[in-house]
């Protein structure tokens, strides 16, 4: 799993590359918590995501709950 992050002003885009599962979801969450302060537009790009487990989905829900108080969260490029 690799995260590719791109920040511009109050916008942050996070691209998942590989798998998001119980082995790495907590680490990803900790990394994102350090970076979303002051972010008003958070975008998750799933173009390179190969697999997401329930732990990964839970991570997205946690981020959504945090972002609803400070801005918007969008998920783009969802694969089948």
**Looking at the 3D structure of the chain, how many domains does it have?**
1
* Host domain of residue 72: 2-76
For the stretch 11-40, pLDDT in tens is 999 999 999 999 999 999 999 999 999 999
The domain that holds 39 is classified in CATH as 3.30.750.24
pLDDT at 3 over 90: yes
The burial class, CB within 10 Å (0-12 / 13-18 / 19+), for 75 is middle
What is the residue-wise DSSP string for 14-32?
A: EEEEEEESTTTHHHHHHHH
For the stretch 37-74, pLDDT in tens is 999 999 999 999 999 999 999 999 999 999 999 999 99
pLDDT at res. 79: 87
pLDDT at res. 70: 93
**The pair of three-digit structure tokens given for residue 75, joined into one six-digit string:** 């998920």
DSSP label at 21? S
pLDDT at res. 80: 79
């Amino acid at each position: 799993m690799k995260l590719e992050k791109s920040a511009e002003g109050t916008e942050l885009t996070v691209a998942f590359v590989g798998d998001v599962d119980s082995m790495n979801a907590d680490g990803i969450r900790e990394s994102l918590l350090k970076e979303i302060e002051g972010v008003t537009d958070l975008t998750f790009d799933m173009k390179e995501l190969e697999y997401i487990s329930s732990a990964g989905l839970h991570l997205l829900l946690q981020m959504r709950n945090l972002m609803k108080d400070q801005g918007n969260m969008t998920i783009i490029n969802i694969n089948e």
